[in-house]
Structure 1
């Protein structure tokens, strides 16, 4: 299996906005390990083009999504500098294929975390602060017909992230009980609490640090770590305005044009 060739196809799809068929149909033997190698090959190509890693994201943290895809652990992807959208900016719907929006907590690290053996206590110690955030996911696989290996190969369906303007100390928040309200065009569409993210969003960050150690990758000082969605993702079309509010953290909004 040529990891670089498959990664190039996904990058071409991202650039052209023309999705590809499910990789797991084209490559029935595609394993989770293969998928991560494809993802890393794609990231290496983007870095060679001048992009910069600014963080990592965790996906599939909810038990419901794991059950849907038949897995028992989350997955991860890389966040690059061209994915970051500043609060108050708009996002062109035509820049993406089939975007969906998720409300998440964003951890900013003041210390590097590298597994194995990272605990929740280590995450608390290493976190500079937490922001309210959106992750905009997008699949280069046609019609979101994905299995776990498809989304991992596709950089965990990463596309954009939006950070709020208010940062809070992790010591001031009960991450398991922090509440979130998610609004679309002025109407609340969902709500959730931190415990829905792998039991505790900090536990998801610890999981990621330990998982990445297999590839000799660390969560680096200064990186942004998206810990996983509180609720189901919402489809986005031109004209949609999304707002997510977290108890004790304030809110963040994004408009698609």
Structure 2
């Protein structure tokens, strides 16, 4: 009989293979009895190492489930985090292939590039001081778990359901006023979701503070140069080939995507 450690590796291997095969898997919680967050993050780290072994470079983190809308949508009650690589960073100027994903959805966010390392006990002011650039951003979330049948441990094991990241323009915004930034998703000309910075834990930088503390418990830290997405302003929406998305950030501009 396989040991628990072997089962973690087996599930990690299945999730990693799903990026290429587009074949979804059984929820990890059903494959591993009493799967906990520690085990789920171990599964995630296995996949990160597998990507790095293939030559991919981890360039940042995504923090998910930081808004009440997303927690309700996915039936969870706390944030999580994952990683993304240079191969997961897509160009907004190029059509995005829907076939690259299994069951993709899109959500509007802000992304932050750090100019200094972020200590585990960083204050909010230290977080602000560490920010180099602020980007308009969209995350494409995807589930390698069949039918989005996930609980917190399942999405964590599945790299926080990260599919891809699209960065828009760098914006000039006061970091003390991020809670007032608004975003509206317009899919094929119709409003499809909206929110503002205060919907992301009250301030889109608070998830960064949370991540610094959480990573420290795993013996790592957020390094200078990292790009971090801190969570969706509203619920995610699915898209199909031929769809066009515009995310309107008001005075800060727009981010437009086309899917084929």
Q: TM-score, normalised by structure 1?
A: 0.94
Q: Which residue number corresponds to residue 139 of structure 1?
A: 143
Q: Which residue number corresponds to residue 67 of structure 2?
A: 62
**Deviations 1:42-95 (Å, cap 9, x if unpaired)?**
101111110101100000001244356665430000011100111211111111
Structure 1 residues 173-182 or 45-54, which shifts more?
A: 173-182
| Cα distance change, pair 72–128 in 1 and its aligned pair in 2 (3 A) | same
Q: Which residue number corresponds to residue 242 of structure 1?
A: 245
Conserved in 1, the CA contact under 8 Å of 2:64 and 2:80? yes
**Structure 2 unaligned spans of 5+:** none
Q: 1:96 aligns with which of 71, 84, 101?
A: 101
Task: Report matched runs for 1:64-143 at 5 Å.
Answer: 64-66=69-71, 71-115=76-120, 117-143=121-147
Structure 1 residues 126-135 or 19-28, which shifts more?
A: 19-28
Displacement of 1:27:
1.9
Conserved in 1, the CA contact under 8 Å of 2:25 and 2:144? yes
Question: What RMSD, in angstroms, separates the aligned Cα atoms of the two structures?
Answer: 1.5
Number of residue-to-residue matches in the alignment: 255
Displacement of 1:248:
3.5
| Cα distance change, pair 122–173 in 1 and its aligned pair in 2 (3 A) | closer
Q: Which residue number corresponds to residue 45 of structure 1?
A: 50
Q: 2:217 aligns with which of 205, 211, 214?
A: 214
CA distance in 2, matches of 1:243, 1:207: 30
Tell whether 2:252 aligns with 1:252. no
CA distance in 2, matches of 1:144, 1:203: 27
Conserved in 1, the CA contact under 8 Å of 2:70 and 2:236? no
Conserved in 2, the CA contact under 8 Å of 1:179 and 1:194? yes
| Cα distance change, pair 69–96 in 1 and its aligned pair in 2 (3 A) | closer
Secondary structure, in 3 states, of the residue corresponding to 1:189?
Answer: strand
| Cα distance change, pair 69–160 in 1 and its aligned pair in 2 (3 A) | closer
Secondary structure, in 3 states, of the residue corresponding to 2:177?
Answer: coil
Task: Report matched runs for 1:218-233 at 5 Å.
Answer: 218-233=221-236
**Deviations 1:144-168 (Å, cap 9, x if unpaired)?**
001110000010011111111x212
Structure 1 residues 202-211 or 62-71, which shifts more?
A: 62-71
**Structure 1 unaligned spans of 5+:** none
